[in-house]
Structure 1
Amino acid sequence: MLPKRFAGFGPVVTGLFVALGLSMSAGAAHAAGNDPVIGTRNVVVADPTVPRPPGTPCVVQLFNDVTFTDFNTRPYDYAPPASCGSRWSKVVLEADFSVTAGRQFDRTASLWLSGVNLYFGTTQEPSAAVSPSWHVERDLTDYTTMLRQPGKGQAIIGNVVNSTYTGIIHGSARLLFYPASLIAPAAQVPDAVYPLGADAVGDTAILNGPTDKLAKTLSLPRNVVRAYLDVFAQSQSGDEFWYTCVPDQYAAQVQECGGGNFREAEVSIDGQPAGVAPVYPWIYTGGIDPYLWRPTPGVQTLNFMPYRVDLTPFAGQLSDGSPHEVALSVAGAHGYFSTTATLLVYRDRHAQQVNGHITRNTLVGQPPTPTIGSTLATDSSGNLTGDITTQLTRQFVIEGYATGSSGRVVSSVTQTVGFNDVQRFTINASTYRQQTEQLTQVDSVSQSRVGPLLTVEYRAHAAYPLSVDYNQQVASDGSLSAATTTHQGYITHGERRLLGFPVYKADISNTVDSADTLNFDASGALTSHTGQQSAQSFRFNDSFGSCYRTDLSTASGALATYATGQGCPDQQNRVWWIAHPDGSPDSRNLQVDW
């Protein structure tokens, strides 16, 4: 992706494991397992890695030290491990990437197997003196059913290497399989995994506008009892900076990209609205001002987390033996979003046929149309000030039933989704300033019940705050400065309840604050940058005693401070191996035992 000022926007510029699962993981914040060296200019993040169960894993290498110098895919063959059986307590993807020193844009990176996405993220940009390297992990336990079979995979990192763009990207990836044991039992994984899209090996689909969709018609088992859709929606090209865009009628006036700044992923089944997934405002390592993200990138920039949509109310409908279209679109898409999704299905193993229907769906008839407001005003001297506001709140309930071996199970998803954005502009002869304050929020309750009393529910809250202050000042000699400060947050709370009583809670807070100033001469050439600094704070805790705390700060492109474990018992991070401190979907703690 291009840095913002070069992209044409704006002016110049659960039960058993409690008793038996005694293992805790230290939850290291980086690949090496040791604290990074103060002063390093290599990539450093506060994010936890995937906690591991006890035991020695079997390792399957997907590819090793592959170079990415063009837009061709890098294929690989996969076979399940021969010495670890087919029941695993956990499956973890590990990948390591690097890019040689020089000039190179950030690039989208993805790994695939049998059409299913294993990893999605972007790459770190290098500098003339720094060849950055980084490590990513993803919990793939829920995809166990697919991983029991051999398949074809591919790595995709489109890259250009020539006399101008010299950075060569290298990558390696492997899967770690932890055998199930008494103290680390196998997870109750989905019984079937279905990739959306037409590519049998795997790739993203491009959605240019809100009517475009990623769709797959599937013939599903006749005994579906639960279903979930893991969704990725990544902004690209003209949509890369969607969070700073304005409605078309104001674009020329404030010198910004059009199309508005509301984006949301919409899920449908057979054309009927079935759920929504908020779009996270990821900022890539070349975004707005590349120095903001050296050496610490923005929230999840190198390793996106999918958003899981609960489609369980549709279980009875999906079990009727007819083909069903599952589709994904992006409201507000304006050229373009890269998307992928994976459907996860649980079956009733004691019934060949499940019957049921949707009984209530109030999402139908609630289009994702935000309300726009403006106080923009221009005075007699041509100076412009004022705000553009974008707001949308929707509340809906989707309910259905499925009758199988446990009787009639009624499932519902109740959700409130909110988007609130204020763009504040100050534009005159010497100043172009745009201040963005955005908050995306989702509150949901997924509930399943058998009879009048036996109820299991999962409550979730997610908040994605974003602040961007871009302040460009022009001096009397024609030189200018462009100061940027940003704040990103990823805040979630999850809670499982049984008969109304909480049995598991988990909280995540991941924030990144960055600042830098670019300085240009009168010809528009970059002369220097000043004041680079950033800070990341990552917090995780759950009701089983997990505690993870890591804080870091950077200055002038180098790590300035790093502290981990402070505030946890004994000043050490300890995370239960079944926890998901990275924010990835967590099904092990959300099991419905019927």
Structure 2
Amino acid sequence: MLAAVLCFVLSAVWGPLHLASATTYENSSSTGLLDVFQVEAPLRSSFGSSVCEQVIVQHEFAASYGTPYVGSYAPPVNCSFTTTIFNMSIVSAGINYDRLGLLFFGDIEIWRSTTAMPVRTGIFYDYQKDMTVFDTLFRSEQKVIMEMDNIYDSVFTGSYNVTITALYYNDGFESFSPADMIIPISTKSSASNASSVISLPDENATISATIPRNAERAVVSILASGNGAEEFWYTNVPTEYAATFNNTAIYGYSPFREVQLLIDGELAGVSWPFPIVFTGGISPGLWVPIVGIDTYDVPSFEIDISPWLGLLCDGAAHTFELKVLGYDTKTLLGTVGSNWWITGSIFIWVDDHGNQTTSTTMQSVTPEPSFNFTPIITTSSNSSTNTSLWVSLTGQRSLSHTSTITTSSGSRALTWSQELSYLNIQNFTSLGHNETLTQLTSGTSQFSPRTSNTSILTNTYSYPITFYQAVTTPADATEANSTLFAILDRSLLSSTTPILAYLTTPTIYTTPAVLATRQNGSCMYYWNDTYYEFAGAIDPAEGTLGMTEQWFSFEGPGTDGSEVEYGRHVKAIDGYEPALIEDEISATTIAVPDTVFLI
């Protein structure tokens, strides 16, 4: 247990929703349960105008390890709709960890979320997610599988009561063009009533698929999250330095991760992931009642593979492979620890009037990434004991694919390109018990518009994160409390035209969605080795004093085509009585201060 604590106390090592804070579909605050929410802009001006709705999942996940929920979906009857929004409501009371939830329609993962951690008096939350890009799935019957592995016994008394409701809207878009088909990159285990998630690096994430000869656009969407020893991958060090301190657990395989998509063995695109912090991560007292950025909706990453269509539309089977790699001081890119849960989906639009899509020879530029790594180890002058470790890792990568494809509507150039940069600095002191970290991942991707008379679309994003944690452990941890003091400051900054949403409803994505949000918090946390008996260490009402502040500013299109401006500033304390002490909501964007790096 102590090792798990030192690599972020009380994280859900067994596995880890989009709260429209101003307008929730179902408000349960009258129940007296604590609303544990994610700050997010409302998806639309009103949720009350749905043309129909139905419950997709209603299930209590108690002792659910290896036993997913299995149900069925049928399209709504006599209901004409374009936009589909799922509302997830969860209620839990008792003691438990955060849990990872994976929702599949057949073999295709459509939502990955992670829960809040419950308290004895009970929590609830609602979160709404725009599901319109999966429209083709909602037009036919589907097997519904939801995996949420949970321990439920005399100690872990918190079950998760989950209700997912589909809300359908007819927004009357001038152009509505969802993908014609979606091909899963998964284990395809739904026939066995199991989720189809792939575990890397232990399994293989390769499929063989035949793309329609008349495909005119194709995009791969990837969901990937680290779990177990990989949950806090950004705190790792290159493997040869993992044993710097003999008495503390520092994981290897470096603090860098790259998720790759390969087509027929050639690199098509990559993701340098956003560092998700689940509600058991860094310090649980940071996440009550405000959860972390993207906690309830683990983000996917999209790669436009349309430049490949001249090769893929030949009627033959082609391989699609997903990999997760880390920096290796000897081989540049190497394997990672266990485990990353990953799936992918190939979204395909076809040319109804065409027979076969052809193209010019694709021009590809995919050099290896470049890295610069510097380690400094300090050793005690009185002994050979290592007392501190300072490491710095920087990285750069660029890639591009361009071709001109020809369909029944003519010829047009298609491009996918990426530029990425990375910085990670860590300082381990006090024999590895204390750590300071700063990381900055930035990137730009470019893809071609739907028509040749529109400029190339550019997405930018930046993920700064910095924190400090100090752990004090007594000689007898069964008799006295250990302490964890943690400070966290991080942001998510982006200006994006989401590829799948843009191709599905292009008339509403005329301008990029601009998001800036920052979370800043600190927490003192106490626990001891007897927590299994008394459960005090995993209940925020016991032995915790934390405060978290968040600024959130958004400007972009809503799902109903309206232009949304939204700002919110919140501050919360966690302790014997968790509470929201400041909550200012604005109908305009707000100023968001920068994350301040600790090193």
TM-score class normalised by the smaller sequence: 0.7 to 0.9
Secondary structure of 1:317 counterpart: helix
Residue equivalent to 2:97 = 105
* CA 425–178 in structure 1, closer or farther in 2 if over 3 Å, else same: same
Residue equivalent to 1:559 = 580
Partner AA of 2:550 in structure 1? Q
> Aligned ranges for residues 14-93 of structure 1 at < 5 Å?
28-29=21-22, 31=24, 41-51=34-44, 55-71=49-65, 72-85=67-80, 88-93=81-86
Tell me if the contact between 2:101 and 2:147 (Cα under 8 Å) persists in the aligned partners. yes
Residue equivalent to 2:596 = none
Residue equivalent to 2:88 = 95
When the two chains are superposed, the root-mean-square deviation of aligned CA atoms in Å is 3.3
Partner AA of 1:469 in structure 2? Y
Q: Write the distance in 2 (CA, Å) between the matches of 1:295 and 1:134.
A: 10
Secondary structure of 1:134 counterpart: strand
Q: Write the distance in 1 (CA, Å) between the matches of 2:413 and 2:147.
A: 42
**1:560: Cα distance to partner?**
1.2
The alignment status of 1:532 with 2:546, answered yes or no, reads yes
Residue equivalent to 2:441 = 440
Residue equivalent to 1:328 = 322
Partner AA of 2:64 in structure 1? D
The alignment status of 1:194 with 2:186, answered yes or no, reads no
Residue equivalent to 1:251 = 242
Residue equivalent to 1:377 = 378
Secondary structure of 2:411 counterpart: strand
Secondary structure of 1:454 counterpart: coil
Residue equivalent to 1:418 = 421
Where structure 1 has 5 or more consecutive residues not aligned to the other structure, the ranges are 14-25, 570-594
**1:32: Cα distance to partner?**
5.3
* CA 314–424 in structure 1, closer or farther in 2 if over 3 Å, else same: same
Q: Once the two structures are superposed, what CA deviation does each residue of 1:345-399 show, in whole Å capped at 9, x if it has no partner?
A: 1112221211125521111x42x57432112222414563452012210112211
Partner AA of 1:335 in structure 2? S
Q: Write the distance in 2 (CA, Å) between the matches of 1:75 and 1:33.
A: 24
Q: Write the distance in 2 (CA, Å) between the matches of 1:243 and 1:455.
A: 38
In the superposition, the TM-score normalised over structure 1's length comes to: 0.82
* CA 568–479 in structure 1, closer or farther in 2 if over 3 Å, else same: closer
Partner AA of 1:493 in structure 2? S
Q: Write the distance in 2 (CA, Å) between the matches of 1:522 and 1:161.
A: 20
Q: Could you tell which deviates more after superposition, 235-244 or 248-257?
A: 248-257
> Aligned ranges for residues 376-395 of structure 1 at < 5 Å?
376-381=377-382, 382=385, 384-395=387-398
Q: 2:123 aligns with which of 96, 118, 132?
A: 132
Partner AA of 2:458 in structure 1? R
Tell me if the contact between 2:20 and 2:128 (Cα under 8 Å) persists in the aligned partners. no
Q: Write the distance in 1 (CA, Å) between the matches of 2:123 and 2:580.
A: 13
Residue equivalent to 2:147 = 156
Secondary structure of 2:455 counterpart: strand
* CA 11–125 in structure 1, closer or farther in 2 if over 3 Å, else same: closer
Partner AA of 1:76 in structure 2? G
Q: Could you tell which deviates more after superposition, 481-490 or 456-465?
A: 481-490
Secondary structure of 1:292 counterpart: helix
Residue equivalent to 1:489 = 491
Q: Write the distance in 1 (CA, Å) between the matches of 2:528 and 2:76.
A: 59
Q: Write the distance in 1 (CA, Å) between the matches of 2:69 and 2:9.
A: 39
Q: Write the distance in 1 (CA, Å) between the matches of 2:174 and 2:93.
A: 42
Where structure 2 has 5 or more consecutive residues not aligned to the other structure, the ranges are 12-18, 327-335, 503-508, 591-599
Q: 1:427 aligns with which of 414, 426, 430?
A: 430
Q: Write the distance in 2 (CA, Å) between the matches of 1:62 and 1:559.
A: 32
Tell me if the contact between 1:409 and 1:449 (Cα under 8 Å) persists in the aligned partners. no
**1:282: Cα distance to partner?**
0.9
**1:552: Cα distance to partner?**
1.0
Q: Write the distance in 2 (CA, Å) between the matches of 1:106 and 1:530.
A: 17
**1:200: Cα distance to partner?**
5.2
* CA 66–207 in structure 1, closer or farther in 2 if over 3 Å, else same: closer
Partner AA of 1:262 in structure 2? F
The alignment status of 1:510 with 2:505, answered yes or no, reads no
Q: Write the distance in 2 (CA, Å) between the matches of 1:40 and 1:532.
A: 20
**1:35: Cα distance to partner?**
12
Tell me if the contact between 2:428 and 2:435 (Cα under 8 Å) persists in the aligned partners. yes
Residue equivalent to 1:168 = 159
Q: Write the distance in 2 (CA, Å) between the matches of 1:221 and 1:290.
A: 48
The alignment status of 1:469 with 2:468, answered yes or no, reads yes
Residue identity over aligned pairs, in percent, reads 21
The alignment status of 1:221 with 2:212, answered yes or no, reads yes
**1:479: Cα distance to partner?**
6.6
* CA 328–383 in structure 1, closer or farther in 2 if over 3 Å, else same: closer
Q: Write the distance in 2 (CA, Å) between the matches of 1:171 and 1:34.
A: 15
* CA 92–480 in structure 1, closer or farther in 2 if over 3 Å, else same: closer
* CA 454–70 in structure 1, closer or farther in 2 if over 3 Å, else same: closer
Partner AA of 1:466 in structure 2? I
**1:63: Cα distance to partner?**
2.5
Secondary structure of 1:188 counterpart: coil
Residue equivalent to 1:306 = 300
* CA 399–45 in structure 1, closer or farther in 2 if over 3 Å, else same: same
* CA 113–358 in structure 1, closer or farther in 2 if over 3 Å, else same: farther
Q: Could you tell which deviates more after superposition, 519-528 or 137-146?
A: 519-528
Tell me if the contact between 2:108 and 2:196 (Cα under 8 Å) persists in the aligned partners. no
Q: Write the distance in 2 (CA, Å) between the matches of 1:353 and 1:149.
A: 27
Q: Write the distance in 2 (CA, Å) between the matches of 1:178 and 1:33.
A: 17
Q: Write the distance in 2 (CA, Å) between the matches of 1:374 and 1:141.
A: 47
Residue-pair matches, total: 538
Partner AA of 1:342 in structure 2? S
Q: Could you tell which deviates more after superposition, 548-557 or 47-56?
A: 47-56
Secondary structure of 2:456 counterpart: strand
Residue equivalent to 2:110 = 118
Tell me if the contact between 1:467 and 1:486 (Cα under 8 Å) persists in the aligned partners. yes
Residue equivalent to 2:597 = none
**1:44: Cα distance to partner?**
2.5
Q: Write the distance in 2 (CA, Å) between the matches of 1:100 and 1:10.
A: 23
Secondary structure of 2:516 counterpart: strand
* CA 476–146 in structure 1, closer or farther in 2 if over 3 Å, else same: closer
* CA 480–264 in structure 1, closer or farther in 2 if over 3 Å, else same: same
Q: 2:257 aligns with which of 260, 263, 274?
A: 263
Tell me if the contact between 1:358 and 1:398 (Cα under 8 Å) persists in the aligned partners. no
